[in-house]
Structure formats: structure tokens, C-alpha cells
């Protein structure tokens, strides 16, 4: 892109070239901008224009475009392509990216693409498709450079020139023995500065951090974050080098896991996309809503148990939303802190105890402050000192308990090997509604003589 042209002006020229069917001019503009900008431009086009773009680009250029588009959107684009062109595009993509896309498709469509795809690419893709989703095997790439420990630096440099164009990354070079077992790692910098006659085994680092092929992708993401790795090797139970996982794949994993945790936190099975069908969205949400509905009915029945108390002092009912809402909000805040800490592995065993103590203290302080405020408001508003003290004391106890519950529930679930994010906001809110109402009306019933 020329420096004196803004991206908008460039896109306008690109759009005109596309609309006019000027292939040469379109390619000149399109291939000159950053891949992210190409993907953005492409996604903004209607289907008719996208079909035209497919004819303007080669399978290799389209593969590069698809690798910069969100995984959830690629299925639609491959469905509208000519099947042979689509299979050629998949053949040109990085193997791990192609596998991710195929995993989102129906099995019969996957079989169709693999049948007409380049034979070598199809075989590599089939190998990765066998691995369980969200494991190292499913996100690794087999496009890497493996060095022989007995090779010299000169021989290795020659090998790199041949294999580097097709490799996912060459910043880390993994060394194997005659049986293809991982024995070391070598940085590109160390290779460049070494003497040509030096053997790889003499300059490699034998302390290699690796992951097993069945390891969970979320654990790998945390490990790569902790070690600041750009890539990590994947091995089988005999330590044979099977593939590598690169940082760009881990960024996708972190985004996927964050979306997954967010959806659980909101008590839905998955985050709805903007194009989601209303019936499909409702199908995902209904089970959770029905469960919460029954919990809500339990709350209603709990209130009905205190009908006599409410009938004697009707004003008590006015403060139910204040107490339940504040307790629910406090519990959700504590829940967010706990789930985030568990997701990022911030807490050891001692850290979890400190978390509970900290949240209990926080609940006590916030409960005291909110209790004093509400007591003063009720006294000034209704002129009832004891009612104000009752609501204030209820808030103090309810917020302390709710905040502690918000931190303890995900810790218990984590101990039970259940995803802590399942302890989502709506569940904590509903549980805290029940607790706060029991505290409120229990205290009101006990001290009824002072309210009359």
C-alpha cells in the first residue's frame, strides 16, 4: 500500500476493481495489503462478490486468506466454493488449520473433500483427524523441521534451505535420533553462529520441554504462557516426535477457551454468533433457564413459608429485591475473581485458602458499609429505626456469606474435577437469593416483637 493512500481509499479502489471485474487490478490491490485487511475486506462482501473473488485468486492465495478468518466463519465460505477448488485450498493450508476447519464440518462433507484432495495432504490431515478434539494432537502441525543429531551444521543449513519454506516455524529446531525420538532442541541463532563442521548433538540443548499428544489444549496454553515459548514439540508415549504446536495456534486456543468459559459463566452451552438461528440459540439456552426456573420456584416457595411474617409487617417485602440483588452481585464478583484465578493457575493450595479468607474479609467490609447505608436510608425514609437495623444486619450477614460462597463454590468444583466456570453467575445469584431470603426472614421472624 502506498504511504499517501489511506486504507479506506485503498479499499474503495479495491472494491471498484472487484465490481468492474478487473482481475489484474484487483489482484494488485488485494495482494498488496496486510492479510488481516484482506480478510476484513472479504468478510464484508456479499456472496456474489465472494464467488468472484474465488475466481480471481489461486488456491494458495485463498488458503492464506482463509487462515486469517475466524474458524466459525470458514465453514460457510468452503460450502459455497466449488468442491474441487475448496479441496485445493485445504491442500494449500497449514495442516493444523485445515484440520480445524474440517472438524467443524459434517462427516460426509469431510469425506468428500478428502477424496478429491491432494493425496499427500489428505493423508496428513487424516492422521490428525483421528486425535481427540482439544488435545495436543488435534492442534499440532506436522509441518516442522526435524534435525538429525549426527548432522553437521553445514548439512543442517542445507536441509533448512530445502524444508524451511514449508515449515510452520524454524525459530526452534528439534533434534531426533535414528528412531525419530526427540533428544534435543536448537535455536536458529545457535545454529547460525556455530562452526560449519560442528555436529548438531554438540550444540543442542538436551533439556527439552515437550507435551504428550493427548494433553489438554488449555494446559498447553498455560504452559506456553508460563515459559514464553514460541513453539512446543508433541510426542507419543515413546517420545517419538509427532508435531509441534506454535504460538499462533495457542492464541486461538486461548480465545476459544475464553469464549467457552464466558458461555458457561452466563449459563449457556455456547456463545451465540450474530448469525445464529433464533431456534438454535433458544435450544442452547432453554435447559439452563429451566433449571434456573425451578431454583427460582424454590425461592418463591421459601418466601411463602414466611407469609405470616410478611402479613404482619408488609413493608418487609419491599426490601427483598435490595437484599437478594446486592447479595447476588457480591457473590458474582467473588465468583469472577475465583474462576479467573483458577483458569490462570494463580492459586496453589495456600493461595486458595488466602483467597477464601480475603473474600470473606471483603464481604464483611462491603456488608458493613452497605448495611450502614441502607439502615440510614430506611430510618430517614420510613422513620423505622429497628427495620433499618434489621435490613442492615441482614445485608452484613448476607454479603459476607454470598461473597464467601462465590469463592468457595468454584474451588469445590475444581477439587471435584468439574470446570469451575460451570459455577456460573446465574447459579450463584440464585443460591445467594435463597441464602439471603432465609437470613432476612429468619431474623425478621425472630425479632418480630420489635417490628410491630
Report if residue 38 sits inside a domain. yes
User: Pick from 139, 173, 197: which residue ends a domain?
Assistant: 139
Residues 311 and 240 in one domain: no
Predicted confidence at residue 157, as pLDDT, reads 93
Find residue 150's DSSP bridge partners. none
Grid cell in block for residue 205: 540443548
Show Cβ contacts of residue 393 under 8 Å, excluding neighbours closer than 6 positions: 371, 443
Using a pLDDT cut of 70, give the percent of the chain over it.
Answer: 86
Main-chain dihedrals φ then ψ at residue 216, nearest 5 degrees? -65, 140
pLDDT at 366 over 50: yes
Are residues 416 and 291 part of one domain? yes
For residue 147, the model assigns a pLDDT of 94
Q: Quote the pLDDT of residue 121.
A: 84
Please give the Cα distance from 330 to 318 (Å, whole number).
20
The pLDDT value given to residue 4: 47
In the numeric block, the cell 495489503 is attached to 33
Residues 285 and 434 in one domain: yes
The Cα–Cα gap between 288 and 345 comes to 28
CATH of the domain at 123: 1.25.60.10
Do 256 and 341 have their domain in common? no
In-domain check, residue 1: no
Instruction: Decide: 406 and 332 in contact? Cβ < 8 Å.
Output: yes
Integer angstrom CA distances of residue 62 from 19, 182, 367, 383: 19, 35, 58, 73
- The answer to whether residue 339 sits within a structural domain is yes
Q: Are residues 95 and 52 in the same domain?
A: yes
Task: Give the residue with greater pLDDT, 391 vs 260.
Answer: 391
According to the model, what pLDDT value does residue 350 have? Answer: 63
Alpha helices in 57-196, H assignment, sequence order: 59-66, 71-80, 83-92, 95-103, 107-116, 119-129, 136-139, 153-163, 188-193
Q: What is the DSSP-derived secondary structure letter of residue 318?
A: G
In a domain, 2, yes or no: no
- Cβ pair 420, 342 in contact under 8 A: yes
Q: Give the residue carrying C-alpha cell 448495611.
A: 371
Query: At 199, is the secondary structure helix, strand, or coil?
Result: strand
Same domain flag for 313 and 439? yes
Residues 15 and 45 in one domain: yes
Residue 368 lies in a domain: yes
| Kind and range of the H or E run holding 443 | helix 425-446
Task: Verify that 383 and 253 share a domain, yes or no.
Answer: no
CA distance 18 to 41: 11
Residues 447, 321 within the same domain? yes
Of residues 8 and 43, the one with the higher pLDDT is 43
What pLDDT is stored for residue 252 in this prediction? 77
Any domain includes 151: yes
CATH number of the domain encompassing residue 195:
3.10.580.10
C-alpha Rg value of the chain to the nearest Å = 30
Q: Measuring CA to CA, which residue among 241, 245, 252, 255 is closest to residue 223? A: 245
Query: Could you give the count of Cα atoms lying within 13 Å of 382 in the half-sphere of its Cβ?
Result: 16
Q: Give the residue, 208 or 357, on which the prediction is more confident.
A: 208
CA neighbours within 13 Å on the CB side: how many for 287?
Answer: 8
Asked if 183 and 177 touch (Cβ cutoff 8 Å), the reply is: yes
CA–CA separation, 36 vs 154, rounded Å? 37
Q: 271 in a domain, yes or no?
A: no
Cα separations (Å) of 387 from 15, 319, 372, 390? 69, 10, 12, 5
Number of structural domains found in the chain: 3
Domain extent at residue 96: 7-139
- The secondary structure of 346-370 as a DSSP string is ---HHHHHHHHHHHHHHHHHHHHHH
Task: Tell me which of 104, 122, 139 is where a domain ends.
Answer: 139
The least confident of 172-181, 379-388, 442-451 is 442-451
Q: Please state, in angstroms and rounded to a whole number, the distance separating the CA atoms of residues 69 and 339.
A: 29
* Separation between Cα atoms, residue 250 and residue 346, nearest integer Å: 19
Which positions ≥6 away from 202 have C-beta within 8 Å?
none
Write out pLDDT tens, residues 64-116. 999 888 887 888 899 899 999 999 999 988 888 888 888 888 888 888 888 88
Given a contact cutoff of 8 angstroms between Cβ atoms, the answer to whether 393 and 367 are in contact is no
CATH number of residue 314's parent domain: 1.10.357.20
**132 and 150 part of one domain:** no
Residue 394 bridge partners (DSSP): none
Among residues 262, 167, 231, 241, the alpha carbon closest in space to that of 223 is found at: 231
Quick check: is 118 in a domain? yes
Of 139, 160, 189, which one is at a domain's C-terminal end?
Answer: 139
Q: What is the mean pLDDT of residues 203-224?
A: 90
At 195 the pLDDT is 93
Q: Which of 19-23, 116-120, 408-412 has the lowest mean pLDDT?
A: 408-412
Return d(Cα 232, Cα 244) in angstroms, integer.
6
Q: Note whether 412 and 422 are within 8 A (CB).
A: no
Q: Yes or no: say if 296 and 324 are a contact pair by the CB < 8 Å rule.
A: no
In this prediction, residue 422 carries a pLDDT of 57
Region for 167 from its dihedrals, namely left if φ exceeds 0, alpha if ψ lies in -120 to 50, beta otherwise: beta
**CA distance linking residue 218 with residue 351, whole number of Å:** 21
Cβ-proximal residues to 320 (8 Å cutoff; 6+ apart), any chain: 303, 437, 440
Check whether residue 317 and residue 435 sit in a common domain.
yes
Residue 315: predicted pLDDT: 79
Considering the domain architecture, whether residues 83 and 170 belong to the same structural domain is answered as no
3-class secondary structure, 142? coil
Residues 6+ apart with CB under 8 A from 64: 35
Phi, psi (deg, nearest 5) at residue 86: -60, -40
Strands (E) across 170-304 are located at 172-176, 182-187, 211-212, 231-235, 241-246
pLDDT tens digits, one per residue of 290-342: 776 777 777 777 777 877 777 777 778 888 888 888 888 888 788 777 777 76
Amino acid at each position: 500500500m502506498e504511504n499517501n493512500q489511506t486504507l479506506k481509499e485503498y479499499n474503495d479502489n479495491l472494491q471498484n476493481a472487484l465490481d468492474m471485474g478487473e482481475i489484474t487490478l484487483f489482484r494488485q490491490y488485494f495482494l498488496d495489503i496486510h492479510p488481516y485487511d484482506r480478510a476484513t475486506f472479504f468478510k464484508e462482501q456479499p456472496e456474489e462478490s465472494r464467488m468472484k473473488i474465488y475466481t480471481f485468486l489461486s488456491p494458495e492465495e485463498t488458503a492464506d486468506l482463509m487462515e486469517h478468518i475466524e474458524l466459525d466463519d470458514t465453514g460457510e465460505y468452503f460450502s459455497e466454493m466449488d468442491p474441487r477448488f475448496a479441496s485445493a485450498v485445504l491442500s494449500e493450508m497449514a495442516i493444523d488449520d485445515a484440520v480445524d476447519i474440517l472438524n467443524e464440518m459434517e462427516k460426509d462433507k469431510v469425506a468428500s473433500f478428502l477424496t478429491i484432495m491432494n493425496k499427500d495432504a489428505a493423508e496428513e490431515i487424516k492422521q490428525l483427524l483421528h486425535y481427540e478434539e482439544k488435545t495436543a494432537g488435534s492442534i499440532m502441525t506436522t509441518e516442522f523441521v526435524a534435525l538429525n543429531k549426527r548432522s553437521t551444521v553445514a548439512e543442517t543449513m542445507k536441509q533448512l534451505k530445502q524444508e524451511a519454506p514449508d515449515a510452520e516455524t524454524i525459530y526452534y529446531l528439534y533434534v531426533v535420533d535414528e528412531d525419530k525420538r526427540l533428544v534435543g532442541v536448537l535455536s536458529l541463532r545457535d545454529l547460525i553462529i556455530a562452526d560449519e563442521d560442528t555436529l548438531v548433538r554438540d550444540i543442542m540443548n538436551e533439556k527439552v520441554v515437550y507435551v504428550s499428544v493427548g494433553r489438554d489444549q488449555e494446559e498447553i496454553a498455560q504452559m506456553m504462557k508460563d515459559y514464553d515459548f514460541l513453539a512446543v514439540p508433541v510426542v507419543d508415549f515413546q517420545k517419538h516426535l509427532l508435531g509441534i504446536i506454535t504460538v499462533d495456534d495457542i492464541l486461538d486456543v486461548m480465545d476459544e477457551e475464553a469464549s467457552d468459559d464466558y458461555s458457561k459463566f452466563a449459563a449457556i452451552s455456547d456463545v451465540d454468533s450474530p448469525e445464529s438461528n433464533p431456534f438454535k440459540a433458544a435450544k442452547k439456552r432453554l435447559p439452563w433457564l429451566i433449571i434456573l426456573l425451578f431454583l427460582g420456584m424454590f425461592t418463591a416457595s421459601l418466601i411463602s413459608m414466611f407469609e405470616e411474617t410478611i402479613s404482619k409487617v408488609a413493608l418487609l417485602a419491599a426490601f427483598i429485591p435490595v437484599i437478594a440483588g446486592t447479595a447476588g452481585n457480591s457473590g458474582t464478583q467473588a465468583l469472577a475473581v475465583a474462576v479467573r484465578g483458577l483458569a490462570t493457575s494463580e492459586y496453589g493450595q495456600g493461595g486458595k485458602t488466602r483467597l477464601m479468607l480475603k473474600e470473606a474479609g471483603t464481604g464483611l467490609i462491603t456488608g458493613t458499609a452497605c448495611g450502614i447505608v441502607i439502615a440510614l436510608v430506611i430510618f430517614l425514609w420510613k422513620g423505622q429505626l429497628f427495620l433499618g437495623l434489621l435490613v442492615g444486619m441482614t445485608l452484613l450477614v448476607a454479603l459476607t456469606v454470598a461473597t464467601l460462597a462465590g469463592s468457595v463454590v468454584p474451588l469445590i468444583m475444581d477439587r471435584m474435577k468439574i470446570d469451575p466456570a460451570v459455577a456460573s453467575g446465574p447459579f450463584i445469584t440464585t443460591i445467594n437469593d435463597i441464602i439471603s431470603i432465609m437470613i432476612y426472614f429468619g431474623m425478621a421472624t425472630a425479632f418480630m416483637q420489635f417490628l410491630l
